Amino acid sequence: MGDQNLKASPTRPGIYSRGTETVDSILKAALSVLIDEGAAAFTIRRIAAACDMKVGNVSYHFPRKEMLIQVMLEDIVTSYDAKLELSVRQPALSVEERLATVIAICLDDIGSKRTTRLFSELWALANHNEFVADRVRAFYEKVHEVIGEYVAELNPALTPDQVQTVALFISASMEGSTPFLGYEKPWAAKMPAVIRLSTKWFVHLAKTVTAEEIEGFAGSMA
Protein backbone atom coordinates (compact mmCIF):
# COMPACT_ATOMS: atom_id res chain seq x y z
CA MET A 1 0.00 0.00 0.00
CA GLY A 2 1.53 3.32 -1.06
CA ASP A 3 1.39 6.69 0.69
CA GLN A 4 -1.39 7.81 -1.65
CA ASN A 5 -3.63 5.03 -0.37
CA LEU A 6 -2.73 5.90 3.19
CA LYS A 7 -3.83 9.48 2.66
CA ALA A 8 -7.12 8.26 1.25
CA SER A 9 -7.80 6.08 4.30
CA PRO A 10 -10.38 7.08 6.95
CA THR A 11 -9.39 9.96 9.22
CA ARG A 12 -9.45 7.63 12.21
CA PRO A 13 -8.05 4.19 11.30
CA GLY A 14 -9.87 1.51 13.26
CA ILE A 15 -12.69 3.96 13.95
CA TYR A 16 -15.39 1.29 13.90
CA SER A 17 -13.61 -0.55 16.70
CA ARG A 18 -12.52 2.58 18.54
CA GLY A 19 -12.76 2.16 22.30
CA THR A 20 -12.73 -1.62 22.22
CA GLU A 21 -10.30 -3.47 24.45
CA THR A 22 -8.37 -4.80 21.45
CA VAL A 23 -7.79 -1.44 19.80
CA ASP A 24 -6.97 0.27 23.08
CA SER A 25 -4.44 -2.48 23.89
CA ILE A 26 -2.78 -2.04 20.50
CA LEU A 27 -2.52 1.72 20.90
CA LYS A 28 -1.14 1.41 24.44
CA ALA A 29 1.46 -1.11 23.27
CA ALA A 30 2.41 1.00 20.25
CA LEU A 31 2.93 4.07 22.41
CA SER A 32 5.01 2.07 24.89
CA VAL A 33 7.23 0.62 22.16
CA LEU A 34 7.87 4.01 20.58
CA ILE A 35 8.63 5.69 23.92
CA ASP A 36 10.68 2.94 25.57
CA GLU A 37 12.33 1.22 22.60
CA GLY A 38 12.48 3.89 19.91
CA ALA A 39 11.65 4.29 16.24
CA ALA A 40 13.83 1.36 15.15
CA ALA A 41 11.68 -1.05 17.18
CA PHE A 42 8.38 0.45 16.03
CA THR A 43 7.06 -2.36 13.82
CA ILE A 44 3.71 -4.14 13.63
CA ARG A 45 5.45 -7.35 14.69
CA ARG A 46 7.02 -5.77 17.79
CA ILE A 47 3.77 -4.05 18.73
CA ALA A 48 1.90 -7.33 18.38
CA ALA A 49 4.39 -9.00 20.72
CA ALA A 50 4.10 -6.15 23.21
CA CYS A 51 0.33 -6.56 23.48
CA ASP A 52 0.46 -10.37 23.25
CA MET A 53 -1.48 -10.57 19.99
CA LYS A 54 -0.92 -12.16 16.63
CA VAL A 55 0.49 -9.91 13.92
CA GLY A 56 -2.65 -10.48 11.86
CA ASN A 57 -4.87 -9.21 14.66
CA VAL A 58 -2.91 -5.97 14.90
CA SER A 59 -2.67 -5.45 11.15
CA TYR A 60 -6.42 -6.04 10.80
CA HIS A 61 -7.05 -2.82 12.70
CA PHE A 62 -3.88 -1.00 11.66
CA PRO A 63 -2.45 -2.35 8.36
CA ARG A 64 0.42 0.16 8.54
CA LYS A 65 2.31 1.52 11.55
CA GLU A 66 1.77 5.01 10.13
CA MET A 67 -1.92 4.62 10.94
CA LEU A 68 -1.03 4.07 14.58
CA ILE A 69 0.96 7.29 14.58
CA GLN A 70 -1.98 9.13 13.04
CA VAL A 71 -4.29 8.01 15.83
CA MET A 72 -1.68 8.70 18.54
CA LEU A 73 -1.29 12.29 17.38
CA GLU A 74 -5.04 12.77 17.13
CA ASP A 75 -5.41 11.49 20.69
CA ILE A 76 -2.71 13.92 21.87
CA VAL A 77 -4.54 16.80 20.15
CA THR A 78 -7.74 15.73 21.93
CA SER A 79 -5.98 15.63 25.31
CA TYR A 80 -4.40 19.05 24.73
CA ASP A 81 -7.78 20.47 23.75
CA ALA A 82 -9.24 19.17 27.00
CA LYS A 83 -6.43 20.90 28.92
CA LEU A 84 -7.12 24.13 27.06
CA GLU A 85 -10.81 23.98 27.90
CA LEU A 86 -10.03 23.35 31.55
CA SER A 87 -7.12 25.75 32.07
CA VAL A 88 -7.04 28.32 29.27
CA ARG A 89 -10.46 29.02 27.78
CA GLN A 90 -11.82 30.53 30.96
CA PRO A 91 -13.72 33.85 30.91
CA ALA A 92 -11.90 35.12 34.02
CA LEU A 93 -8.49 34.98 32.33
CA SER A 94 -7.03 37.87 30.34
CA VAL A 95 -5.55 37.22 26.91
CA GLU A 96 -2.06 37.60 28.41
CA GLU A 97 -2.87 34.98 31.04
CA ARG A 98 -4.26 32.63 28.41
CA LEU A 99 -1.14 32.81 26.25
CA ALA A 100 1.09 32.43 29.31
CA THR A 101 -0.88 29.35 30.36
CA VAL A 102 -0.59 27.78 26.90
CA ILE A 103 3.18 28.31 26.99
CA ALA A 104 3.43 26.85 30.49
CA ILE A 105 1.36 23.80 29.51
CA CYS A 106 3.52 23.14 26.44
CA LEU A 107 6.83 23.45 28.30
CA ASP A 108 5.63 21.43 31.27
CA ASP A 109 4.54 18.70 28.85
CA ILE A 110 7.94 18.78 27.10
CA GLY A 111 9.45 17.89 30.48
CA SER A 112 7.44 14.66 30.70
CA LYS A 113 8.87 11.29 29.72
CA ARG A 114 6.10 10.66 27.21
CA THR A 115 6.52 13.88 25.28
CA THR A 116 10.32 14.04 25.41
CA ARG A 117 10.75 10.54 24.06
CA LEU A 118 7.66 10.28 21.86
CA PHE A 119 8.32 13.40 19.83
CA SER A 120 12.04 12.73 19.55
CA GLU A 121 11.18 9.39 17.96
CA LEU A 122 8.44 10.88 15.80
CA TRP A 123 10.89 13.46 14.46
CA ALA A 124 13.30 10.62 13.66
CA LEU A 125 10.58 8.72 11.79
CA ALA A 126 9.47 11.88 9.99
CA ASN A 127 12.97 12.33 8.53
CA HIS A 128 12.46 9.20 6.43
CA ASN A 129 8.69 8.87 6.09
CA GLU A 130 6.64 11.46 4.21
CA PHE A 131 3.35 10.31 5.73
CA VAL A 132 4.64 10.62 9.30
CA ALA A 133 6.20 14.00 8.46
CA ASP A 134 2.83 15.19 7.16
CA ARG A 135 1.03 14.04 10.33
CA VAL A 136 3.62 15.68 12.59
CA ARG A 137 3.41 18.88 10.56
CA ALA A 138 -0.39 18.88 10.90
CA PHE A 139 -0.05 18.43 14.65
CA TYR A 140 2.24 21.43 15.00
CA GLU A 141 0.03 23.54 12.76
CA LYS A 142 -2.71 23.09 15.36
CA VAL A 143 -0.31 24.20 18.09
CA HIS A 144 0.62 27.27 16.04
CA GLU A 145 -3.06 28.08 15.53
CA VAL A 146 -3.71 28.09 19.27
CA ILE A 147 -0.71 30.32 19.99
CA GLY A 148 -1.55 32.54 17.01
CA GLU A 149 -5.09 33.06 18.26
CA TYR A 150 -3.79 34.86 21.35
CA VAL A 151 -0.97 36.64 19.53
CA ALA A 152 -3.54 38.13 17.15
CA GLU A 153 -5.68 39.33 20.06
CA LEU A 154 -2.71 40.86 21.85
CA ASN A 155 -1.30 42.52 18.76
CA PRO A 156 -4.08 43.30 16.24
CA ALA A 157 -1.75 45.44 14.11
CA LEU A 158 -0.01 42.29 12.83
CA THR A 159 -1.10 40.65 9.59
CA PRO A 160 -2.14 36.97 9.65
CA ASP A 161 1.23 36.04 8.13
CA GLN A 162 3.10 38.02 10.78
CA VAL A 163 0.99 36.41 13.52
CA GLN A 164 1.96 33.03 12.11
CA THR A 165 5.64 34.04 12.18
CA VAL A 166 5.44 35.02 15.85
CA ALA A 167 3.50 31.87 16.74
CA LEU A 168 6.04 29.74 14.87
CA PHE A 169 8.91 31.43 16.70
CA ILE A 170 7.32 30.79 20.10
CA SER A 171 6.51 27.17 19.25
CA ALA A 172 9.93 26.46 17.73
CA SER A 173 11.69 28.02 20.72
CA MET A 174 9.75 25.77 23.07
CA GLU A 175 10.25 22.60 21.03
CA GLY A 176 13.96 23.40 20.70
CA SER A 177 14.28 23.09 24.45
CA THR A 178 13.52 19.34 24.35
CA PRO A 179 17.13 18.02 24.07
CA PHE A 180 18.25 20.34 26.84
CA LEU A 181 15.32 20.52 29.27
CA GLY A 182 13.25 17.43 28.49
CA TYR A 183 12.88 14.30 30.59
CA GLU A 184 16.26 13.15 31.95
CA LYS A 185 18.05 15.73 29.78
CA PRO A 186 21.15 17.57 31.09
CA TRP A 187 19.37 20.72 32.33
CA ALA A 188 15.92 19.31 33.12
CA ALA A 189 16.08 20.84 36.60
CA LYS A 190 16.11 24.30 34.99
CA MET A 191 12.68 23.80 33.40
CA PRO A 192 10.66 25.61 36.12
CA ALA A 193 12.81 28.73 35.72
CA VAL A 194 12.64 28.49 31.93
CA ILE A 195 8.84 28.24 32.10
CA ARG A 196 8.66 31.43 34.14
CA LEU A 197 11.05 33.24 31.80
CA SER A 198 9.22 32.00 28.72
CA THR A 199 5.76 33.01 29.90
CA LYS A 200 7.05 36.49 30.73
CA TRP A 201 9.07 37.18 27.60
CA PHE A 202 6.97 35.43 24.97
CA VAL A 203 3.88 37.31 26.13
CA HIS A 204 5.88 40.55 26.10
CA LEU A 205 7.10 39.77 22.59
CA ALA A 206 3.59 38.99 21.35
CA LYS A 207 2.33 42.31 22.72
CA THR A 208 5.14 44.58 21.61
CA VAL A 209 6.71 43.31 18.38
CA THR A 210 5.70 45.50 15.45
CA ALA A 211 4.81 44.66 11.88
CA GLU A 212 7.72 46.82 10.73
CA GLU A 213 10.16 44.89 12.90
CA ILE A 214 9.00 41.55 11.55
CA GLU A 215 9.26 42.78 7.97
CA GLY A 216 12.69 44.20 8.72
CA PHE A 217 13.87 40.92 10.21
CA ALA A 218 12.69 39.06 7.10
CA GLY A 219 14.37 41.56 4.80
CA SER A 220 17.69 41.35 6.64
CA MET A 221 17.97 37.68 5.69
CA ALA A 222 17.67 38.35 1.97
Contact between 19 and 76 under an 8 Å Cβ cutoff? The reply is no
Whichever domain contains 213, its CATH number is 1.10.357
Q: pTM of the entire structure?
A: 0.85
- What is the extent of the structural domain holding 55? 1-65
Whether 191 shows a pLDDT value over 50: the answer reads yes
Phi, psi of 90, deg, nearest 5: -115, 130
Whether 8 shows a pLDDT value over 80: the answer reads no
- Could you tell me how many helices (H) and strands (E) the chain has, helices first? 12, 0
Contact between 144 and 163 under an 8 Å Cβ cutoff? The reply is no
Contact between 171 and 139 under an 8 Å Cβ cutoff? The reply is no
How many Cα atoms sit within 13 Å of 9 on the Cβ side?
21
The answer to whether position 210 is within a domain reads yes
Q: Which of 129, 135, 166 has its CA nearest to residue 149?
A: 166
Residue 6 confidence (pLDDT): 37
The answer to whether position 175 is within a domain reads yes
User: Are 51 and 109 in a shared domain?
Assistant: no
User: Are 138 and 205 in a shared domain?
Assistant: yes
Number of structural domains in the chain: 2
Share the mean pLDDT of the chain. Answer: 89
